[in-house]
């Protein structure tokens, strides 16, 4: 089981948006949060066919 907490509401965009306050997490096999590493600024990007949260 996994999920994401985003720093702003999701919307269609051709460019990445959001801030380093966004993160991914999983609950299995144990809870783990994946925070921003600071390596890039690819947080959120989506269109009618896909959604990307984090990249790199």
Over residues 11-29, the pLDDT tens digits come to 999 999 999 999 999 999 9
The answer for 16, left when phi > 0, alpha when psi is -120 to 50, beta otherwise, is: beta
Task: Give percent of the chain with pLDDT exceeding 70.
Answer: 98
Sign of CA dihedral 28, 34, 40, 17: positive
| 39 secondary structure, DSSP code | S
Nearest-angstrom CA–CA distance, 23 and 25: 7
| Domain ranges (residues) in the chain | 1-56
Q: Provide the 10 A C-beta neighbour count for residue 54.
A: 18
Nearest-angstrom CA–CA distance, 10 and 17: 9
pLDDT average, residue stretch 29-36: 97
**pTM of the predicted protein model:** 0.83
């Amino acid at each position: 089981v996994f999920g994401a907490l985003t720093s702003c509401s999701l919307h269609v965009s051709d460019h990445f948006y959001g801030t380093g306050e966004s993160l991914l997490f999983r609950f299995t096999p144990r809870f783990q949060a994946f925070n921003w590493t600071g390596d890039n600024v690819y947080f959120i990007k989506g269109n009618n066919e896909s959604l990307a949260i984090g990249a790199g």
